[in-house]
Structure 1
Amino acid sequence: MNDKRVVFDFNISFTNGGGIQGQDFRLDIAGDTITDQQLADYIVNDMQLLMVGKIDILNKYYINEKHKRQPVNILPNDKYIDLSHTIFDGLVTYKGLPSPIVCDYLSREQSRANYEPGTEFQIGKIEMVTNTGTYIDCPFHRFEHGKDLSEIELERFAGLEAITINAENITRIDESFFTGLEIRNKAVLVHTGWAKHWNTPQYFDGHPYLTANAAGHLKDCGVKLVGIDSHNIDDTAGKSRPVHTTLLGAEILIVEHLCNLDKLPASGYQFNAVPPKFKGAGTFPVRAYASFDTSN
């Protein structure tokens, strides 16, 4: 079967005046379709245009034709990969902790009394513990005098050079998974495959975890953050939490309950997991994601 291409016209206006047009423009695409916004972004980036205003994509259709060059990575999931679970009303993240309550504080119907006809708003109300969904731990979570979310520098949460460790179908993940790798000053994300059990009873029992020796090795190597797509980075069978103790004691951040780690390469991307700037909180949900440089 021939490769897929998109054929389209475009009009581009510039904010400082003038414009350019293109007719019967053909572009190799990796999938079966592409949005107008993706095409607009591609034209701007590939032609290195500046001061771009409105872009109209016209007369778009698809053909099967052999690609003339390697496909260009321009789809959103080539630049960003979402690594977070969705939080919803009633979600059980950790057995024994209350589920979040997500509801209206001001409903759209109620708001109509405050605004002119056709104008309405919703103001939401959320009640939850901070260990909900995909969340990040900082030292205050484990240590009374450790840094809380408001005291951790922003660069510790975002733009971290990252590496993916493949530990799929492994329960006890020891230091051997991290030896011989360049991990200093990086975010280390451990892919166990356990995220497939998310929001099921199986998620809480027999989950993969890091050993105390693995945590010690990561500390000695000076990593910046450790993430895992499992119920807990520690073995919860007992009452000790040596991985939390070791990593957070060294101000190495922890992200638990990740997902989609199977979509990540071994390296060559950045990890981002930024929480709100709360004082007096050591844990909070994040929108964790991987980002890629698609400029080349």
Structure 2
Amino acid sequence: MIDRRVIFDFDIAFTNGGGIQGQDFRLDIDGDTIDDKALADYLVKDMQLLMVGEVEILNKHYIEEKHKRAAINLAADELLIDLSHSIFDGLVTYKGLPAPIICDYLSRERSKEFYEAGTEFQIGKIELVTNTGTYLDCPFHRFEHGKDLSQIALEQCAELDAITINAKDATAIGREYFVGKEISNKAVLVYTGWAQHWNTADYFEGHPYLTEDAAVYLRDCGVKLVGIDSHNIDNTTGKKRPVHSILLGAEILIVEHLCNLQLLPENSFLFSAVPPKIEGAGTFPVRAYANLKS
């Protein structure tokens, strides 16, 4: 199907007085036409307007033009894309670090001692290092006086405008992958395809990483967060970790061990990876996901 867009003017009146007008607005549509009521409803929702009275659509016409954002008819189960690996008992995320222990603190069987018949509960117990599964790094991970998980703002890790950078089959990912892209104030997610090796011996060796020059470029462009679907955002063959130092030194958060980045569009989506609010910790597992309903 050829991509179609509607161009229109509008006049919106508010029930508490006043109004707003707009000219030559453009909107992607799924199909050849869209009626005025549906267009008005979409406009009000997209602009998050309140106290809306009459909405008048004016000078509406259509053009053939490639859509600028994700299709608006996604199925409900396609709007949220899980970008996290599951954590299970015995999982090895980083060779040399202990695997998590996940067990019962109070089992359902034992809970029968405390509750009436048919009222059982389970209370779990988890022992893990904070670098487990898909996790977020904040400045305290690298710097003694950097902000810890309790001090970072939600605006740094939740509902961020995001962009996917395709670096599949690359190893040393340099600044050339990011030059010319709209990355300022965004979460930059680097797709390498390395997640296919997750939970195998291959995951730890020869993994893709960002170069120091790329980290400097990302910092200077003012990105908010950088994520990667690889074993580490840095080259782990030596003892230096310049990417962590540069990004976390600028309070740019890092998310490592992502997955499913191949399911994302290049842009026009939101990214979230929110950790618990823990004092004295610089890293913790997150449930990272993309919202294509941006």
1:82 aligns to what? 82
- Classify the secondary structure of the residue corresponding to 1:163: strand
Q: Could you tell me which amino acid in structure 1 is paired with residue 73 of structure 2?
A: V
Q: Shift of residue 72 of structure 1?
A: 3.3
Question: Unaligned stretches of 5+ in structure 2?
Answer: 1-40, 43-70
TM-superposed deviation, 1:292 = 1.9
Work out whether 1:72 is the aligned partner of 2:73: yes
1:100 aligned residue: 100
Instruction: Quote the residue 1:210 is aligned against.
Output: 210
- Show the 5 A alignment for 1:170-249: 170-249=170-249
Q: Deviations over 1:130-163 (max 9, x none)?
A: 0000000000000000000000011111010000
* Counterpart in the other structure of 1:152: 152
Corresponding position of 1:120: 120
Report the TM-score, using the length of structure 2 for normalisation.
Answer: 0.75
Secondary structure at the counterpart of residue 103 of structure 1: strand
Deviations along 1:21-77, one digit per CA (max 9) or x if unpaired, are xxxxxxxxxxxxxxxxxxxxxxxx99xxxxxxxxxxxxxxxxxxxxxxx9932331x
Q: In the TM superposition, what is the alpha-carbon distance from 1:79 to its structure 2 partner? A: 1.1
Q: Shift of residue 113 of structure 1?
A: 1.1
Runs of at least 5 residues in structure 1 that lack an aligned partner in the other structure: 1-44, 47-69
Whole-Å separation in 2 of the counterparts to 1:211 and 1:155: 26
The CA deviation at 1:238 is 0.3
Please, what TM-score do these two structures have when normalized by structure 1? 0.75
Task: Report percent identity of matched pairs.
Answer: 70
AA in 2 matched with 1:208: P
In the alignment, what sits opposite 2:142? 142
Corresponding residue for residue 278 of structure 1: 278
Offset from partner CA, 1:253-283 (integer Å, 9 cap, x none):
0000000000000001000000000000000
2:124 is paired with a residue whose SS is strand
Amino acid corresponding to residue 194 of structure 1 in structure 2: W
Q: How many residues align?
A: 227
CA distance in 2, matches of 1:168, 1:256: 16
Q: 1:177-223 deviations in whole A, cap 9, x for unaligned?
A: 00011100000000000000000000000000000000000000000
Determine the C-alpha separation between the residues in 2 that align with 1:167 and 1:150. Answer: 32
In structure 2, distance between residues paired with 1:279 and 1:255? 19
Q: What is the SS of the residue equivalent to 1:140?
A: helix
CA RMSD, 1 decimal: 1.6
What is the Cα deviation at residue 247 of structure 1?
0.2
